[in-house]
Structure 1
Amino acid sequence: MKHKLFLLTLLCPLLFVNGFAQTVTLSEEIKQALETVKASEIKADIAYLADDKLKGRAPGTEGFQMAVDYVVDHLKQLGVRPAGEHGSWLQTVRFRKAFVKEPVFTIKDGQAAVAATQNDLTISPNPVVPEVSVQGALVFAGYGISEPGLGYDDYANLNVKGKVVIVVRGAPEKFASSVSAHVMNGSTILRKAAEHGAVGVIVASVDSTARVFGGGGNGSGGAPRGVNSIMDEKGRVAVSRSYDPGLKVYGTMRYALVKSLFQKAGKSIPATIDQLKAGNPQSFAVPAQISLSYKSVYQDMVSYNVVGKITGSDRKLKKQYVVHSAHLDHLGIGNPVLGDSIFNGAHDNASGVASLLGIAKIYSNIKAKPKRSVLVVLVTGEEMGDLGSGYFAQHPTVPVKSMVADVNTDMPTVIAPLLSITALGAEHSSLAAKVDQAAGYFGITVEPDPEPKQARFTRSDQYSFVVAGIPALHVKYGSKTADGKNNLNDLVAPWRAKYYHKPQDDINGLFDFEAGKTYAQLNFLIGYLVAQDRAKPTWNSGDIFSSGPSGK
């Protein structure tokens, strides 16, 4: 048997996988190509992309265009071929920012009006219908979750047709962290409500100390806030995190009004929430009707995804693609913090873009490309709700069913040596084995998500691919530290508080560029293993995502 394994290694010089030990042995060509990634180049890429002259890389701005030109130039130099629209490097992404005007609502219990102010309800604008009105009964639908396969359904035996559902954000405590993040995601909640015939969704605040969250529109007494969607070339909504074509209204409700409606139904907020957390649905009719109207106005803007291709070597498999993604945008210019108003986004996500350029460099130094082709995709609009990746995942510039996996890189947090990782999303598919193999090669430990309550699985671009039915993952740091205390989050937490989404996230912050190099090497190898394997990645049997694309 040993002789046969040795012979197999000679016959397949690029890669040998030992399924028992979950390790990989790489050819000298791959090893040497891995070492072409330089920490100094990672630093240089971050320094340019996070320079003040790019003014925070907001989509639709000159600074974002400078970032596009920079990455396209580098990809050209590395032998990557354009794979955007019409033979170009770009995919056009049409943003629509919608604002609410003149929202008015009343809630009645029979003929009597329920005491409420216009500020008790915050409405999200409609990106396609300028004037909306809706009337209907109110019904409480728990978390708004409908997953019979997981043994939980807030809509079971509940008639919501033509009604407006009130939900609270959350999930039963028994759900795994990534499952919780998915089912409590706003897009999922809206889709489930529409599937059951509701005409609107209102997210209720059940914390008397919390600020109103969710919808993102405005009450009559507040300043309007825009909500972004992606439109197609015919003016239809292509991607939105706050809109579903089956619904007329999406909003949030303040605690005082929620409490009043619960009391009218003879319910207690704390007791209801306790039961929901325990996994016991608590849906009920609310003895009240809502009448609501509002207008929406729009601002349109164009941005771009950058798409490059490395063609595979197998005659058939080269028609399939492994995607390496990272978002190119950041927050632009905003309110000053400590005298600085440019949100440079060095870690978020110039570091991820630098990692993708490093991956492209590794491929440029490999003569025999992997069996499958590779896409390098730099997306726009991540900071607006993963919109650019959502558009690409659902409307790709390659055949829609040809993408087999996505390895996403977002804010890899290169502030300390990379000794352990968590691969968000990998646990849902066969990609987990590829992560184990690649991490094992570098001597990196794979750990569970150290911050499950942060819902990080749904907060970056890999989630766009997952809901489109494509297995995907996002590698983040684990807990291991060089001193053996294994408390990396004790360093990350204060660092994040100082730098995350602040102008202080520039090249002068805390960095470990060798860790940046390791991230690029690790993510390359994960993608390379997928590209070399004749078997396509598959969802785990019975997994929440195994039944196909969400929303299809």
Structure 2
Amino acid sequence: MRVFVIFMAMLMLSGAAFAADKAVSFSQQSYKNYVKTLASDEFEGRGPMTQGEEKTISYLVEELKKLGVQPGYHGDFIQTVPMASIAASQDMQLKIGDLSFEPGTDFVSRTQKMTKRTELNDSEVIFVGYGIDAPEYGWHDYADMDVKGKTLIMLVNDPGYATQDESVFRGNAMTYYGRWTYKYEEAIRRGASGVFIVHETGAAGYPWSVVESGATGTKYMLVDESGNADELEAMGWMQTHTAEKIFASQDLDFQQLKADAANPGFKPVSLGVNANLRTIHWNKMGESHNVVGVLPGTSQKDEYVLLTAHWDAFGKKVGVKGDNIFNGAVDNASGVAGVLELARMLSERDKPLKRSVLLAFFTAEETGLLGAFAFAQHPPVPTHQMVGLFNIDSMNLAGATDYVLKYGDGLQELESWLQQAAAAQGRRVKPDSNPQNGLFFRSDHFALAQQGVPGLLFMDLGDSDPDYIANRYHKPADEYLESWQYSGVKNDLHLIYSLVEKLGNSDAWPGWKEGAEFKQIRDADLSQSGE
């Protein structure tokens, strides 16, 4: 029965126009006020667990109340997210064999253990290729190697990117196995003590400066009852030249072994040297917060369409000369402002949607999607009541385009909804030009995808403004600019509004396509709920 309902809904969808209510339209002034306020120095870079967070949370709640949005988290606007902050001394030194390496220049390292000191003590170093164990792809980089207590060196991305062969993983398009988060998780499951991922700009999708900036200063994390005792002593990255020196010291060719690792059947290689590293940490337990609101639906109010964005940036950093406030204007005050503006547009409708709209502003996206994971683990409503999600993680402030970007090609049925909504605007859907970067796995919607909830990512990190990644991304220079153009924002918000409106007044439940990593999870969730 449910399949028939979905089929009929899609049939009607194909002939229906994706057009927003003419009476509800984008207000450049209200959007501009939102983003300008959030990106101002007064908000101190919106760092979690800081005064900047307090100002941000208060502002978001106040604006939602003004719009008539109701509390969305069990009767409150706030979801408390227990977490910890940790800062590492940057005078650490990594020694592998007889070679010593300097932090920042040669490597970066941190931990998620809630201890004052972490150590690698004569830990055997093993090269494990891409560090992937993926039976469905016939890939077993660890083979039968016991890596408990060892320090692992591994490659960034996955073998599909290395070979550019569509029959290997997903070819150029990164899978979840290519994400650094997976690599650390798999190493933890196997009891490793340390991991160093070899950085390459092309394969990672960002330069070393982004890695270095992200690893220094204060980091945030979710903490378990053990104080994260099972985490890695060292979660790190190293430059390619660092890896080459280590391998060469043992008469091994890093580039040749890297090439070998792109072939099925690769076996881990012990480098015959040990790693030593001692790091001092400053830890603090605390709380951060997600902000959640809801616009209740009518006849299907227990079914929810989600609009999300992360409110955090990198706060203020000690030791940065000159401007030390990471305002995060594009990433992601622009996205938060987008969700607020959509909330305003939806609240001004003459008639509410049939389905409810859940608005969520997440903390600590920049340090591992922490707020989104906390939300996914403790949701305000069951995931089987979440129909679909639209996540905004930066907006186009360089002017109108004839396209809308799509991430995660071929994964979900919402992609066809996006194509039709774009066509209604006379625009085309442009596939991610850098699928090797794995952007689909790098924003908050991914935390919900892992629970089976389908969602589209709206992101414009430099596509319309190439200078942004090179000179402003994750830097103090990501500030509000008077030169911004809002025609692109207007088009994209009207497009997202039309998707929310269509899904919010529909009986359809768009799902994952065959072969998507999350299809079985979603199918099981919906079947248990009786949907």
Please tell me the TM-score bracket, short chain as reference: 0.7 to 0.9
How far apart, CA to CA, are the structure 2 residues paired with 1:418 and 1:77? Answer: 32
Q: CA deviation at 1:80?
A: 1.4
Q: In structure 1, what residue type is equivalent to 2:22?
A: Q
Residue 291 (structure 2) pairs with residue 306 (structure 1):
yes
Q: In the alignment, what sits opposite 2:255?
A: 270
Residue 445 (structure 2) pairs with residue 445 (structure 1):
no
Q: In the alignment, what sits opposite 2:131?
A: 144
Residue 485 (structure 2) pairs with residue 523 (structure 1):
no
Q: CA deviation at 1:253?
A: 4.7
Q: CA deviation at 1:401?
A: 4.7
How far apart, CA to CA, are the structure 2 residues paired with 1:248 and 1:25? Answer: 55
Q: CA deviation at 1:87?
A: 2.0
How far apart, CA to CA, are the structure 2 residues paired with 1:91 and 1:270? Answer: 47
Q: Structure 1 residue aligned with 2:397, among 409, 414, 429?
A: 414
TM-score with structure 1 setting the length? 0.77
Structure 1 unaligned runs (5+)?
A: 1-15, 108-113, 219-223, 238-243, 479-487
Residue 174 (structure 2) pairs with residue 180 (structure 1):
yes
Q: In structure 1, what residue type is equivalent to 2:343?
A: A
Q: In the alignment, what sits opposite 1:508?
A: 481
Q: CA deviation at 1:306?
A: 0.7
* Correspondences of 1:108-507 after superposition (within 5 Å): 114-117=97-100, 119=102, 122-130=108-116, 132=118, 136-172=123-159, 173=161, 174=165, 175-176=169-170, 180=174, 182-204=176-198, 225-231=217-223, 245=230, 247-253=232-238, 258-259=243-244, 261-263=246-248, 267-277=252-262, 281=266, 283-290=268-275, 296-314=281-299, 317-334=300-317, 340-399=323-382, 401-425=384-408, 427-476=410-459, 489=463, 492-507=465-480
> Which string of whole-angstrom CA distances, capped at 9 and with x for unpartnered residues, describes residues 458-478 of structure 1?
332223323343222212359
Contact map agreement 1:91 1:305 (CA 8 A) in 2? yes
Contact map agreement 1:116 1:257 (CA 8 A) in 2? no
Percent identity of the aligned residues? 28
> Which string of whole-angstrom CA distances, capped at 9 and with x for unpartnered residues, describes residues 108-146 of structure 1?
xxxxxx312264775423433445556654322101122
Q: CA deviation at 1:430?
A: 1.6
Contact map agreement 1:389 1:461 (CA 8 A) in 2? yes
Q: CA deviation at 1:169?
A: 1.4
- Three-state SS of the structure 2 residue aligned to 1:189 is helix
Contact map agreement 2:149 2:192 (CA 8 A) in 1? yes
How far apart, CA to CA, are the structure 1 residues paired with 2:227 and 2:373? Answer: 15
Q: In structure 2, what residue type is equivalent to 1:382?
A: E
Structure 1 window deviating more from structure 2 (421-430 vs 252-261): it is: 252-261
Structure 2 unaligned runs (5+)?
A: 1-7, 202-206, 523-531
How many corresponding residue pairs? Answer: 498
Would the alpha carbon gap of residues 146 and 18 (structure 1) be closer, same or farther in structure 2, given more than 3 Å must change?
Answer: closer
- Three-state SS of the structure 2 residue aligned to 1:378 is strand
Q: In the alignment, what sits opposite 2:528?
A: none
Would the alpha carbon gap of residues 206 and 259 (structure 1) be closer, same or farther in structure 2, given more than 3 Å must change?
Answer: farther
Q: Structure 2 residue aligned with 1:79, among 46, 63, 68?
A: 68
Residue 84 (structure 2) pairs with residue 93 (structure 1):
no
Contact map agreement 1:97 1:299 (CA 8 A) in 2? yes
TM-score with structure 2 setting the length? 0.80
> Which string of whole-angstrom CA distances, capped at 9 and with x for unpartnered residues, describes residues 8-62 of structure 1?
xxxxxxxx966398453368xx5235x3322222222222222333333333343
Q: In structure 1, what residue type is equivalent to 2:63?
A: H
How far apart, CA to CA, are the structure 2 residues paired with 1:453 and 1:386? Answer: 20
Would the alpha carbon gap of residues 313 and 251 (structure 1) be closer, same or farther in structure 2, given more than 3 Å must change?
Answer: same
> Which string of whole-angstrom CA distances, capped at 9 and with x for unpartnered residues, describes residues 508-527 of structure 1?
34322232222222122223
Contact map agreement 2:45 2:326 (CA 8 A) in 1? yes
Q: In the alignment, what sits opposite 1:24?
A: 16
Q: In structure 2, what residue type is equivalent to 1:445?
A: R
Would the alpha carbon gap of residues 281 and 442 (structure 1) be closer, same or farther in structure 2, given more than 3 Å must change?
Answer: farther
Would the alpha carbon gap of residues 336 and 128 (structure 1) be closer, same or farther in structure 2, given more than 3 Å must change?
Answer: closer
How far apart, CA to CA, are the structure 2 residues paired with 1:71 and 1:372? Answer: 23
- Three-state SS of the structure 2 residue aligned to 1:359 is helix
> Which string of whole-angstrom CA distances, capped at 9 and with x for unpartnered residues, describes residues 170-206 of structure 1?
3222344795262222220022223345444232468
Contact map agreement 2:417 2:499 (CA 8 A) in 1? yes
Structure 1 window deviating more from structure 2 (505-514 vs 125-134): it is: 125-134
How far apart, CA to CA, are the structure 1 residues paired with 2:515 and 2:323? Answer: 50
Structure 1 window deviating more from structure 2 (469-478 vs 37-46): it is: 469-478
Would the alpha carbon gap of residues 416 and 205 (structure 1) be closer, same or farther in structure 2, given more than 3 Å must change?
Answer: closer
Q: CA deviation at 1:372?
A: 3.1
Q: CA deviation at 1:217?
A: 10
Q: CA deviation at 1:149?
A: 1.5
Contact map agreement 1:124 1:215 (CA 8 A) in 2? no
Q: CA deviation at 1:356?
A: 0.8
Contact map agreement 1:37 1:361 (CA 8 A) in 2? no
How far apart, CA to CA, are the structure 2 residues paired with 1:26 and 1:217? Answer: 40
Structure 1 window deviating more from structure 2 (170-179 vs 91-100): it is: 170-179
Contact map agreement 1:106 1:292 (CA 8 A) in 2? yes
> Which string of whole-angstrom CA distances, capped at 9 and with x for unpartnered residues, describes residues 490-515 of structure 1?
x6112544443444444434322232
How far apart, CA to CA, are the structure 2 residues paired with 1:26 and 1:205? Answer: 43
